[in-house]
Amino acid sequence: MKRISLTQYLVEEQRLHDNIPASLRLLIEVVARACKTISHSVGKGALGDILGSADTENIQGEVQKKLDVISNEILLEANEWGGHLAAMASEEMESIHPIPNRYPMGEYMLLFDPLDGSSNIDVNVSIGTIFSVLKAPEGMSQPTEQDFMQPGSQQVAAGYAVYGPQTMLVLTTGNGVNCFTLDREMGSWVLTQKGMRIPEETKEFSINMSNQRHWYPPVQRYIAEMLEGKTGPRAKDFNMRWIASMVADVHRILNRGGIFMYPADARDPSQPGKLRLMYEANPMAMIVEQAGGAATDGKGRILDIPPAKLHQRVPVFLGSKSEVERVTGYHAE
């Protein structure tokens, strides 16, 4: 079987669909290279002195792990100098990161969650990097946070890397979803899955059950029906899977179906959910929709939500279409 590299794939995709200009290709390649570097750090673990807490807090008020800080730096440094970006935004930083004046300013803006699933770092469970690419508004001279306030439907590319037994890069540029596996000996990304599709029907769900007592009625009803199994209204037995790393949970759903949920709950009614719209929900929603699935906040399509602030949070229901539509319907009732 002929091996297709990430670069070859991007060049051929541009010829076919005319949707990956050279500067976007360069951007994707640089992000992929940064993910390779992060993967190397992850693989070293305790040997590289990257485990444990950095004893700092990020803008979300979460204690940062050393690897959170390292991954953030790797992505910033890799993407600053190439001339393809106008600005970056990271889940780990309070405000945007404009490209320093000594470098040319490009036409794209990059958002990322440098390391998703931090609670899994120290126990050697799959973690990942999520990224989203937007086009800078026409005539923008000095990028501001406001320039990033674009609905997810305007993303030109989205993807994630998952650092597991194999390191994989899952990518969409708006024409389906493809998966590349890192050949560690050669140091190259090789296309290993083309046109990934999420099965419409599923018997698996993914949610943090420890929060059950706080859920609102639509989610309580939906999960209760699943738990009743064959003798309940759904007339089939469901399995629960929860890795507590969104990248790993979504990667499983992409491969074998299922629904991933992080609903809003009654603990803090002022906080509409835990996941960040710009760094997690939007890129994952684009990938899931491109693979034939659905992604909502319980009311409507995630990709249609107009962002109001950089670190906005949203409830998330994504995965197999029929299940997402069902639980969204329960919210409407």
Q: Are strands 259-262 and 204-206 parallel, antiparallel or unpaired?
A: parallel
115 known member of a binding site = yes
Angle formed by the axes of helices 282-290 and 246-256, to 10°?
Answer: 10
325 known member of a binding site = no
80 known member of a binding site = no
Determine the 3-state secondary structure of 241 from DSSP: coil
265 known member of a binding site = no
Q: Whole-angstrom Cα distance, residue 203 to residue 201?
A: 7
CA-nearest of 181, 167, 266 to 220 is 266
Q: Whole-angstrom Cα distance, residue 73 to residue 96?
A: 14
Give 88's strand partners: 97, 110
94 known member of a binding site = no
Q: Whole-angstrom Cα distance, residue 172 to residue 155?
A: 10
118 known member of a binding site = yes
Is the sign of the CA dihedral 252, 179, 43, 92 positive or negative?
A: negative
119 known member of a binding site = yes
Q: What is the DSSP letter of 168?
A: E
Q: Whole-angstrom Cα distance, residue 110 to residue 134?
A: 6
113 known member of a binding site = yes
Q: In one letter, which amino acid is 320? A: S
- ∠ CA 162-190-250, rounded to 5°: 25
Binding positions for substrate: 116-119, 208, 274
Binding positions: 91, 113, 115-119, 208, 274, 280
Binding positions for Mg(2+): 91, 113, 115-116, 280
